[in-house]
Amino acid sequence: MSEKLVLIDGHSILNRAFFGLPDLTNSEGLHTNAVYGFLNILFKILEEEQPDYLTVAFDVHAPTFRHKMYEAYKGTRKPMDDALRQQVPLMKEMLAAMGVCTIEMEGYEADDLLGTLAGMGERAGMEVSVVSGDRDLLQLATDHVRIRIPKTKRTGTEIEDYLAADVKERYQVTPKEFIDVKALMGDTADNIPGVPGIGEKTATALIGQYGCIEEVHAHADVVKPPRASKNIVEYWDQAVMSKELATIITDVPVDYDFANAKIDGKASLYTEEAYLLCKRLEFKNLLNRFTVDAQKNHAEESFQIVKDQKTADRIWKKAEGKEAGFYVVEQGVQNQQLSLFDTAEEQKFAGLAISFSEEDNYLMVASQELPAEKLKQDLLERQELYAADLKPALAAFDLHDVPEEMRTRFFDRTIAAYLLNPLKGAYPYEDIAKDYLGLMIPSRTDLLGKQMPGDVITEKEADVLRYACWESYITWKSAAVLKEGLKEHGMEQLMREIEMPLVFVLSDMEQDGICIDANALKEYGQKLSVSIGELEQKIYEEAGETFNINSPKQLGVILFEKMQLPNGKKTKTGFSTSAEVLEKLAGDYPIVADILEYRKLSKLKSTYADGLSNFIDATGKIHTTFHQTITATGRLSSTDPNLQNIPIRIELGKMIRKVFHPMPGDLFVDSDYSQIELRLLAHMSGDEQLIEAFRENQDIHRSTASKVFHVPFDEVTDLQRRNAKAVNFGIVYGISAYGLSQDLNIGTKEAQGFIDSYFETYPKIKEFLDNTVAQAKEKGYTRTLFGRIRPIPELSSGNFMTRQFGERVAMNAPIQGTAADIIKIAMIRVHDRLIREHFRSRLILQVHDELLIETAEEEKEKVIALLEEEMQKAADLKVELAVGTACGQDWYEAH
């Protein structure tokens, strides 16, 4: 096999990393984000390619002669951001510490060095990779020189790869022709003028036809369009200069010896010196790479594909008595029958990866020889099953109402990782590997790009094998570490008794779905359309012109510039047109009232009327997805569609709920907790005043008003009650005078007065909140009654505002989180009893403090009793939990 050379465009990658990452600083105040990002990209490349040679090229700081040439012509380069400039020497220091070969040369750009070295490597018979954020380098691509462009995404780094053929495919021109395209179209970022009037389209077309600018010039008389024809002659000198500017020099007289770029095993990269530097820069999650990397992971060598029953039987036999990690490969099957529309896709079981030792990692592909049904059965006979992501696996296996005996055999590593750190948006296996095992391994996008494993399981078998087995292997290997972590943090019980059982409840709820009256929904949407049309015309008349009312930008211009309305509050990008602002103007200006109305109706139509109809399946049902590992506090979230934000506060919006109905002949039972968060506050603070108010079952806001404003309970005015209610909300959210003043439209002084009186009335609550914040500052996290933690890194921020935010979060998280824990417990118990006591009734939805059940008429009374009982008894507090229940033929009636 030929040797591999990796060349890195130093400044370009630093630049990418700098702008792609938030501004990290270490405790010395050094900016470190660019170095950090660079290292991550470097490690990823090393991991993927395992090159034999590595070199990083830098520009020398003085401008090169080519830019001088142009600067004389026009303009200068932008100066570098100071926070980035500081990091250049730091990066060089790091590379030196790691023993990485670097190169820079007076008079030449990094591009030229890269081009020259790439050519040298190719001629020496190597496979070359050039890593840069700069598309100019695409001109260097050949069959053996690959240009790799990293893109920093939310989910990590993705790399676009270009061999010569890929450039041709993507840009319709060869790498050499790419130079000429650039010469014509120009590049402002690179100070290449190009030819005026020729953009990307024309340039590509012309070069595609003629091959180079000289030929285009020679045929100028027949070149189309006319503007290009004229300008190619008129600006010919500029075109020639642009070509020169765009051309990367590939014959720089470099003093370079591959021997200096040789990577001598891991040891020379992961040096003591580099380790210490990483420590100084506080790259904590890079550190374990230096220590653990010595024991390189060999699991991948054992990944094996299995397609016949005989081999599978042997494997299952070998796995007996062992814990197994598994990952289910699903295949999207387009199914016209499935939906009223053509968008629905059914997920079908396509394969199963299992892991039960360092050497035993298999992907079993479902087929005639290896039936899906048999694979499922064999898997489900295992005693200890570690799932990469259990809920979708249950759906793929078509498992409902799983008996307890089977439920307790599962452990979901994604949920475990979520409990240990609920702040991450996602828990992909490569993060688990890095955070808990100190392993750096390729991610899904590295292996499969944007493609879904199930969709390419036949065409890209080897890649899917790698991906699926990494999933199962990491699941298997990390389980022990994650369990240990849960134990250390006192969250074993939370995991075992709440989160894991809940997976099965949510799975059943999702699979059951909820019935929707599609026709009624359509009619509702049509009615909205009519009203929206009328309002639209009216608004245009009032404005004296037509414009896009949905564009805050255009709307701002119309209202605050053209019509000169007062009070133009600003956002970062222009005038604020939020409801808060507009409501203040609505009384004086009819157009503003109409716009508010228009906004409301548009929202209802686009998000609910039209939005929901896209999710109705062939049986007339909607199946939301509940997410158990998203929120920082422990709540669930709901997507595709979100059924936790269906309108209720305004009547017209609430009408939507009439289209949500039970199965024919059945009815809905809906219970919600009353004031659960304030009850929890009473319990957790132990404040006698608040506890007593709840025990006496008083109107809690009136009671608060009476005490805070020192008026008899019966003489509390509406305004006083409203103010007290806002304070109660504020307390739960982590009170601030400013926030309260905004909510009540009063001054901050007055708001602070309310808060002071409140804390005088309820001293234990103040004590509790202060205590919670203090503990959070000390430990770095808060905890719910059931042990769930929420880390609050903001509390140690140097920024005052950020720290304040951290304090509010610290006050809110234990309350919101405990409420989330409690309703989860209730859900598990309700679901369990409905199955165990053989009810036909099903739990359908959860909306944070509300549970919706679909029930048969004859079960109604028993189900109401069951639901209320389990919700009330879910937690035993100093104040009882109160539940309100309603029934009905649709969700409107039942809530």
Judged by CB, which is closer to DNA: 515, or 813?
813
Among 118, 232, 582, 867, binds DNA (CB under 7 A): 582
Among 554, 689, 797, 872, binds DNA (CB under 7 A): 554
Judged by CB, which is closer to DNA: 466, or 635?
635
Contact of 707 with 687, CB cutoff 8 Å: no
Judged by CB, which is closer to DNA: 209, or 567?
567
Among 297, 302, 642, 752, binds DNA (CB under 7 A): 642
* Residue 91 Cβ vs DNA, minimum distance, rounded to whole Å: 24
DSSP 603-662: HIIIIIIIHHHTT-BTTSEE--EEESS--SSS--EEESS--S----SSHHHHGGGGGEEP
d(C-alpha 19, C-alpha 83), whole Å = 11
Is residue 804 at the binding interface for DNA, with CB under 7 A as the rule? yes
* Residue 551 Cβ vs DNA, minimum distance, rounded to whole Å: 3
| Residue in the structure block whose two tokens are 């679909």 | 854
Q: Which of positions 521-550 make contact with DNA (CB under 7 A)?
A: 548, 550
| 3 state SS of 840 | coil
Q: Which of positions 124-153 make contact with DNA (CB under 7 A)?
A: 153
Judged by CB, which is closer to DNA: 232, or 735?
735
β-pairing verdict for 304-306 and 361-365: parallel
User: 10 Å Cβ neighbour count for 77?
Assistant: 12
Rg (CA), the chain: 32
Is residue 154 at the binding interface for DNA, with CB under 7 A as the rule? yes
Contact of 19 with 34, CB cutoff 8 Å: no
Compute the Cα dihedral for 610, 612, 614, 618 and give only its sign: negative
* Residue 57 Cβ vs DNA, minimum distance, rounded to whole Å: 28
Nearest residue to 423 via CA among 40, 828, 817: 817
d(C-alpha 526, C-alpha 524), whole Å = 5
* Residue 189 Cβ vs DNA, minimum distance, rounded to whole Å: 14
* Residue 153 Cβ vs DNA, minimum distance, rounded to whole Å: 6
Residues 6+ apart with CB under 8 A from 113: 57, 103, 104, 105, 252, 254
Residues 6+ apart with CB under 8 A from 694: 675, 678, 679, 682, 700, 879, 880
* Residue 538 Cβ vs DNA, minimum distance, rounded to whole Å: 17
Is residue 789 at the binding interface for DNA, with CB under 7 A as the rule? no
The pair of structure tokens assigned to 846 is 């959860």
Is residue 752 at the binding interface for DNA, with CB under 7 A as the rule? no
* Residue 509 Cβ vs DNA, minimum distance, rounded to whole Å: 16
Contact of 109 with 59, CB cutoff 8 Å: yes
Is residue 208 at the binding interface for DNA, with CB under 7 A as the rule? no
Is residue 812 at the binding interface for DNA, with CB under 7 A as the rule? yes
Is residue 552 at the binding interface for DNA, with CB under 7 A as the rule? yes
Is residue 551 at the binding interface for DNA, with CB under 7 A as the rule? yes
Query: Which range binds DNA by CB under 7 A, 247-255, 262-270, 384-392, 577-585?
Result: 577-585
Among 285, 519, 578, 619, binds DNA (CB under 7 A): 578
* Residue 200 main-chain phi, psi, to 5 deg: -60, -45
d(C-alpha 508, C-alpha 842), whole Å = 9
Q: Which of positions 393-412 make contact with DNA (CB under 7 A)?
A: none
The pair of structure tokens assigned to 268 is 């020379």
Residues 6+ apart with CB under 8 A from 138: 147, 162, 167, 171, 175, 178
**Binding-site size, DNA (CB under 7 A):** 77
Q: Which of positions 346-385 make contact with DNA (CB under 7 A)?
A: none
Is residue 444 at the binding interface for DNA, with CB under 7 A as the rule? no
d(C-alpha 632, C-alpha 812), whole Å = 11
Contact of 119 with 102, CB cutoff 8 Å: no
Judged by CB, which is closer to DNA: 18, or 733?
733
Is residue 568 at the binding interface for DNA, with CB under 7 A as the rule? no
d(C-alpha 853, C-alpha 873), whole Å = 18
Is residue 424 at the binding interface for DNA, with CB under 7 A as the rule? no
3-state secondary structure 853-878: EEEEHHHHHHHHHHHHHHHHCCCCCC
Contact of 207 with 177, CB cutoff 8 Å: yes
Query: Which range binds DNA by CB under 7 A, 8-16, 311-319, 459-467, 811-819?
Result: 811-819
Is residue 43 at the binding interface for DNA, with CB under 7 A as the rule? no
d(C-alpha 267, C-alpha 99), whole Å = 10
Cβ-in-10-Å burial (0-12, 13-18, 19+) of 49 comes to: middle
Is residue 493 at the binding interface for DNA, with CB under 7 A as the rule? no
* Residue 612 Cβ vs DNA, minimum distance, rounded to whole Å: 8
3-state secondary structure 793-811: HHHHCCCHHHHHHHHHHHH
Is residue 644 at the binding interface for DNA, with CB under 7 A as the rule? yes
| Residue in the structure block whose two tokens are 């070359």 | 128
- 42 Rama sector, left if φ>0, alpha if ψ -120 to 50, beta otherwise: alpha
Is residue 607 at the binding interface for DNA, with CB under 7 A as the rule? yes
Q: Which of positions 684-743 make contact with DNA (CB under 7 A)?
A: 726-727, 729-730, 733-740, 742-743
d(C-alpha 585, C-alpha 383), whole Å = 66
Q: Which of positions 232-261 make contact with DNA (CB under 7 A)?
A: none
* Residue 869 Cβ vs DNA, minimum distance, rounded to whole Å: 20
d(C-alpha 761, C-alpha 709), whole Å = 10
Is residue 671 at the binding interface for DNA, with CB under 7 A as the rule? no
| CA 756, chain centre distance (Å) | 40
Q: Which of positions 46-85 make contact with DNA (CB under 7 A)?
A: none
* Residue 582 Cβ vs DNA, minimum distance, rounded to whole Å: 7
Is residue 573 at the binding interface for DNA, with CB under 7 A as the rule? yes
Judged by CB, which is closer to DNA: 298, or 649?
649
Among 264, 450, 801, 876, binds DNA (CB under 7 A): 801
Is residue 614 at the binding interface for DNA, with CB under 7 A as the rule? yes
The pair of structure tokens assigned to 623 is 């199946």
The pair of structure tokens assigned to 120 is 């040298």
| 3 state SS of 592 | helix
Is residue 645 at the binding interface for DNA, with CB under 7 A as the rule? yes
Is residue 653 at the binding interface for DNA, with CB under 7 A as the rule? yes
Judged by CB, which is closer to DNA: 205, or 822?
822
Is residue 647 at the binding interface for DNA, with CB under 7 A as the rule? yes
Is residue 611 at the binding interface for DNA, with CB under 7 A as the rule? yes
Judged by CB, which is closer to DNA: 119, or 739?
739
| Residue in the structure block whose two tokens are 């600083």 | 25
d(C-alpha 10, C-alpha 861), whole Å = 71
Is residue 802 at the binding interface for DNA, with CB under 7 A as the rule? no
Is residue 572 at the binding interface for DNA, with CB under 7 A as the rule? yes
Is residue 391 at the binding interface for DNA, with CB under 7 A as the rule? no
Judged by CB, which is closer to DNA: 144, or 683?
683
Judged by CB, which is closer to DNA: 109, or 849?
849
Residues 6+ apart with CB under 8 A from 436: 417, 478, 481, 482, 485
Is residue 421 at the binding interface for DNA, with CB under 7 A as the rule? no
Is residue 589 at the binding interface for DNA, with CB under 7 A as the rule? no
Among 805, 872, 878, 887, binds DNA (CB under 7 A): 805
Among 635, 661, 766, 824, binds DNA (CB under 7 A): 635
The site string for DNA over 827-856 (x = CB under 7 A, - otherwise) reads --------------------xxxx------
Is residue 496 at the binding interface for DNA, with CB under 7 A as the rule? no
Is residue 562 at the binding interface for DNA, with CB under 7 A as the rule? no
Judged by CB, which is closer to DNA: 493, or 550?
550
